[in-house]
Chain A
Amino acid sequence: MDPRALRRFRKNKGALAGLVLVLTVTTLGVAGPWLAPHDPNRQFRDTLVLADGLPAGPGSVPGHLLGGDPLGRDELSRLMYGARVSMTVAYAATALAVLIGVLVGLVSGYLGGLVDGALMRFVDVVLSMPFLLLAIAMQRVWSAPGLWVLCLVLGVLSWTTLARVTRAKTLEARNHDYVAAARALGYPHRRVLLRHVLPNVAGPIIAIATIMVAQMILAESALSFLGLGVRPPTASWGSMLSEAGGLVLGMPRLVVYPSIFIAAAVFGFNLFGEGLRDALDPKE
């Protein structure tokens, strides 16, 4: 990274806070299953379900820091496993979207002409697909969808912005002398694109991809909230929210915990992404 960009980034307190949040939730996603004190699907009927059938509150039972969920499962462990689901889906779907978007954008911007026209019309078509609706419908097609179906659906439906931005940046880069020089040296298109154009359009792509991770976290938990994403008993922040929805009056904490995790993750990626954008592409 350009040292000036790095300096700009380091001076941005918000972006640094975002980075800390991003690292925290990512670590939680990777290491959550090892950090979690219990099996997220094990029901502690003797200790976490009280005599009146309600789950034990936070701190009241030793070894269960945040208490139990309505089915007597350890809340903290479920939150940590939920981080793995959210992070897996968010990163994988974003990676897929970046792969498609950058490829389409590079080819479109570099080759121009008919190819460009056709690809951009294709982008228009994908853009007019109703995102949530299609995601729901595709979830319905696979009656017991795995995580990978979810990633596939989200990735395939959200690469269009990246394609447009990459194309615009490629058009800009194409006219620079270093690209002309590389071409004059007789390098094949692939090498010119990957070695000379791509590094120079990478900045905005990285920033957009970071913010996209936040949107993917939102999309995954939205689908799981609607009961159309990750299926029970797998823990996900969205499905935990929907399970707690009916109990919001009696046990608001069951809504508050997953909400905090979702908000913190999304907030972190948004802040970090904005910081990256400001650092890599200074307007002022």
Chain B
Amino acid sequence: MIGFIARRTGWALFATLCVIVVVFALMFVAGDPAATTLGPHASREAIHDFQVREGLDQPILAQLASYLGVGRCVRKNAKGYTRPDGSRGFCGLLEGDFGVSYSAREPVANVIARRVPRTLVLSGMAMLFELLIGVTAGIIAAFRRHTWTDTGIMFGTFVGISLPTYVTGPLALMFFAFLLGWFPVGGYGVGAWEHIRHALLPALILAVTGAATYARVMRSDLIDTLRDDHVRTARAKGLGPMAVLFRHGVRNALLPTVTLIGLSLPFLVGGAIITEKIFAWPGLGLLTLEAINNLDAPMVMAVVVMFAIMVQIGNLLADVAVAMLDPRVRG
């Protein structure tokens, strides 16, 4: 078992490294960040200074090595971001250094640390709605199987899966925020209570697809579980239908849903680009979009690294869980 985990961890690290290299190369060929950052009227000297300061005049392999922290730092020391002794040693990921954002002109880690809680508020609430709505709908559909309630819920989940956030978002904004005035029109608000109030509508919109997915998974697993012997035994014991449903059915059928939650963890942090754009929610998604449009390579790389690591952790946990349950997989 330990060998299996070690092997999988090694592969996870390798996969993360591959992602870093690919995106780094992409950002390298995407264009000159100096021109994008400094604007169209920047002087040639300013652009040159920028390139020297950020090490963009170095060969790509030197830049990559510097970014990873396995080679000499190509970034010129700027005040505030140097190592305490002022040396030009290593300055990359291995040192825990994500670099300095081109456009924000402050360490990437600081910018991200500010944005992560905001995205977590939005995604956390979305996940809550997904589970509440999805699991409830799934249970009702399974319990009322082959009735119009079931058909209606299943039709609803199909509509939910087919409606992307950029369709539901603007329409909900128009209807519930502008016309009815139930929700704020976007933005983030000031103060904890305001944050939550502003997050309600975007979180609901973000939850549509997930809720539909959970409802479908929950329904099919619950239907399978309700056919099991232990459920029949419980019924034969004379337990009421509700007790059978919840104590013996739902409890067992929740397992695949829990796995799904695990696999959706990366998206909790990184996956709300479009929703954040529609509702002007200043989280990681909006940050990513801005960073890509500004060719802010250190920022883009940081988001990518975070996402890749989360995906790997999610997969690793899922694999380990499966391996613990099923010895054949360990091989």
Q: A residues engaging B (CB < 8 A)?
A: 14, 121, 124-125, 127-130, 132-134, 136-138, 140-141, 143, 214, 218, 221-222, 225-226, 238, 241-242, 244-245, 248-249, 252, 255-256, 259, 262-263, 266-267, 270-271
Residues of A contacting B278 with CB < 8 Å?
245
Q: From residue A270, how far is it (CB to closest CB) to chain B in Å?
A: 6
A137:B30 contact, CB within 8 angstroms: yes
Asked if B311 is at the interface (CB within 8 A of a chain A CB), the reply is yes
A267:B162 contact, CB within 8 angstroms: yes
Among B274, B300, B312, contact of A137 (Cβ-Cβ < 8 Å): B300
- Among A128, A143, A238, A249: residue with most chain B CB under 10 A: A128
Residues of A contacting B173 with CB < 8 Å?
248
Cα A256 to Cα B308 in complex, Å, equals: 36
Contact string against A for B residues 277-289, beta-carbon threshold 8 Å, 1 for contact and 0 otherwise? 1100000000011
B292:A133 contact, CB within 8 angstroms: yes
B174:A267 contact, CB within 8 angstroms: no
State the main secondary structure of chain A at its contact with B: helix
4 further A-B contacts with Cβ under 8 Å, apart from A132-B271, A249-B174, are A125-B18, A128-B16, A130-B303, A270-B158
B: interface residue count bin: 35 or more
B170:A214 contact, CB within 8 angstroms: no
Residues of B contacting A137 with CB < 8 Å?
23, 26-27, 30, 292, 300
Q: From residue B29, how far is it (CB to closest CB) to chain A in Å?
A: 6
B167:A259 contact, CB within 8 angstroms: yes
A238:B166 contact, CB within 8 angstroms: yes
A140:B292 contact, CB within 8 angstroms: yes
Q: B residues engaging A (CB < 8 A)?
A: 11, 14-16, 18-19, 22-23, 26-27, 29-31, 158-159, 161-164, 166-167, 170-171, 173-174, 178, 270-271, 273-274, 277-278, 288-289, 292-293, 295, 300, 303-304, 307-308, 311-312, 315
- Among A137, A138, A143, A266: residue with most chain B CB under 10 A: A137
Pairs A–B under 8 Å by Cβ, sample size 20: A124-B315, A128-B15, A128-B18, A129-B19, A129-B22, A132-B271, A133-B270, A137-B23, A137-B300, A140-B292, A214-B162, A221-B164, A222-B164, A248-B174, A255-B167, A255-B170, A259-B171, A262-B164, A263-B162, A266-B162
B167:A262 contact, CB within 8 angstroms: yes
Residue of B at shortest CB range from A244?
B170
Residue of B at shortest CB range from A238?
B166
Cα A242 to Cα B289 in complex, Å, equals: 15
Residues of A contacting B159 with CB < 8 Å?
263, 267
Q: From residue A130, how far is it (CB to closest CB) to chain B in Å?
A: 5
Residues of B contacting A129 with CB < 8 Å?
19, 22, 308
B274:A128 contact, CB within 8 angstroms: no
Residues of A contacting B30 with CB < 8 Å?
137, 140-141
- Among A244, A259, A270: residue with most chain B CB under 10 A: A259
